Amino acid sequence: MRDQHPRTLEPGIGGRPPAALPVQLAAIMRSELPSLASEIITEIRDKIPEYARPEEGPYGQALRAGVEQALTSFFDAVADPAAPHKHRDDVCRRLGRYEAQEGRSLDNLQAAYRIGVHVAWRRVMELGLRDDLPSAVMSQLADVMLAYMDELASLSLEGYQEAKARSADWQEEWRGRLLRFIVDRPPAPGRAILELAGLIGWAVPDEVTLVAVQAVPGCVTPIAGGDALADFSGAQPHLLLPGPLDSCGREVLEAGLTGRRAAIGLTVPLADAADSLRWARQALALATAGIIDDGQVTNCEDHLVTLWLMQDEALLDQLSRRQFAPLAGLTQRQRHRLTETLSAWLETRGTAAEIADRLHVHPQTVRYRIRQLERTLGDRFGDPDVRFATEAVLRAARLTQQAARSPATEAG
């Protein structure tokens, strides 16, 4: 089977025949049309069982009409480069649509095109010998005939794809493929996205919002409306929603979750859809772990700092080890008390009394801990970069501790 993707043809049939091809050939070949069409049909019926149907029936008549139209258009294009070929295009597309409606691939139709060219070339060779045509003309004619066959196959592919896209099963398959085109890294070329979107009648938006949905065994029903693209076939179900998600859209989303968690990514340009999905999946994982507690639906927009902090837990752990290396010799309880006091001081810059009130301890206890921190850590906090890194580590540690105490962690 030839490549089913349409490709650019060299100048020839349907465009302009090469200058080296004498237009007088059209008159020579046209006289052969009736017998040549019959010979092609006979050979197609002999070699392709699916096409061996009564010639007087609708299918046989369609086959004859297709062959005769293809030959006529070829001869017309050789005789007159400006000859219209809309009817031929419609016939080829209709043949492709019929194959789709019959539930077949394009293998048989493309085989029929190859048979047609083979039989036609055999006849042309006979004419060439009879009329003593130059070998250069014969070679040129062979190239043009092959290009013409490819053009017919491409037109039939268009009809085939259109018919498949209209069926419910294929609509879903094409929509799933379009979603993969958009969120893959690297993304598919913009032209491929536009062509596929056109096939299914999907208006390509400037901005999109991706939603990650919790996977539940046995639950694969999409929960999106007609404008959304959904993939619930794998272990990481997700949706693409055109534009931002308003309150009405969120209500529809929540109603369709049937108890599942979901995370709404940021609204981004179409080209950045993969980033929105990545953030949504990260937020969903953090919500499942109890680090983010937003209920059933988490909105990334509300947790940007947390997403940033928790995007690489291994690296965060290494940073924590380096920031608090001087505390390594203390007991776990001592380290906890000191880092808890340090966190309160960095966040509030308050007095010992204010920090004590926040931690529910005596102010003298706070003063003692701060002196202990100064002895252990020295003047490291005079460096703004060290203070920033320490605050980030402490905040992430607090989030992790909250998750450990969260009911969500136990529920999974």
Q: Which is higher by pLDDT, 162 or 382?
A: 162
- The CATH topology of domain 25-163 is Globin-like (1.10.490)
More confident residue, 218 or 331: 331
Contact 282, 311 (CB under 8 A): yes
Structure tokens at 368: 């003692």
CA–CA separation, 223 and 112 (whole Å): 43
Position 8 confidence tier, pLDDT thresholds 50, 70, 90: very low
User: 407: pLDDT confidence band, cut at 50, 70 and 90?
Assistant: low
Cross-strand partners of 207: 269
**Residue whose C-alpha is closest to residue 138's, from 126, 128, 150:** 128
Task: Tell me if the bond preceding 18 is cis, omega within 30° of 0.
Answer: no
Q: Which position has the higher pLDDT, 60 or 406?
A: 60
Query: Which one has a higher pLDDT value, 12 or 267?
Result: 267
Question: Helix crossing, 168-183 with 190-200: angle to 10°?
Answer: 160
Segment 371-396 shows an average pLDDT of 77
- Give the model's pLDDT for residue 404: 61
Instruction: List the single range of 3-17, 144-158, 226-240, 329-343 with lowest mean pLDDT.
Output: 3-17
Contact 34, 75 (CB under 8 A): no
Residue type (1 letter), 46 = D
105-128 confidence digits (pLDDT tens): 899 999 999 999 999 999 988 888
pLDDT digit string (tens) for 220-264?
555 555 689 998 887 899 999 999 988 888 888 888 887 889 999
Tokens coding 214? 């919790």
SS3 category, 268: strand
Which pLDDT band holds residue 409 (cuts at 50, 70, 90)?
A: very low
Residues in the chain: 412
Alpha-carbon torsion (31, 34, 37, 38), positive or negative: negative
Distance CA 157, CA 100 (A): 10
The b-or-e profile of 39-51 (16+ CB within 10 A means b, else e) is bbbebbbeeeeeb
* 346 within 8 A of 391, measured Cβ to Cβ: yes
Q: What is the mean pLDDT of residues 11-19?
A: 43
- CB atoms < 10 A from the CB of 147, how many? 16
**Distant-in-sequence, close-in-space partners of 412: CB < 8 Å, separation ≥ 6:** 288
pLDDT per position as a tens digit, 348-375? 777 888 888 888 889 888 888 888 877 7
CATH code of the domain occupying 206-309: 3.30.70
Q: Are strands 229-231 and 238-242 parallel, antiparallel or unpaired?
A: antiparallel
CA–CA dist 16, 10 (Å, integer): 9
Please report, rounded to a whole number, the percentage of residues in the chain having pLDDT higher than 70: 88
Q: Listing from the earlier edge strand, what are the strands of the sheet with 262-269?
A: 229-231, 238-242, 207-213, 262-269, 297-299
How far apart, in whole angstroms, are the C-alpha atoms of residue 125 and residue 149? 17
Q: Residue 9 and residue 301: Cα distance in Å, rounded?
A: 49
State pLDDT tens for residues 166-205. 777 777 888 889 999 999 988 788 888 998 898 888 999 9
Fold matches, 25-163 and 206-309 = no
Per the model's pLDDT, the better-predicted residue between 7 and 254 turns out to be 254
- 52-77 tens-digit pLDDT: 877 777 777 888 888 998 998 888 88
In the chain, where the domains are located: 25-163, 206-309, 313-411
Q: What pLDDT was estimated at residue 220? A: 53
Radius of gyration in angstroms for the set of CA atoms belonging to the chain, rounded to a whole number: 35
Position 32, amino acid:
E
Lookup: tokens for 95: 């043949």
Q: 172: how many CB neighbours lie within 10 A of its CB?
A: 14
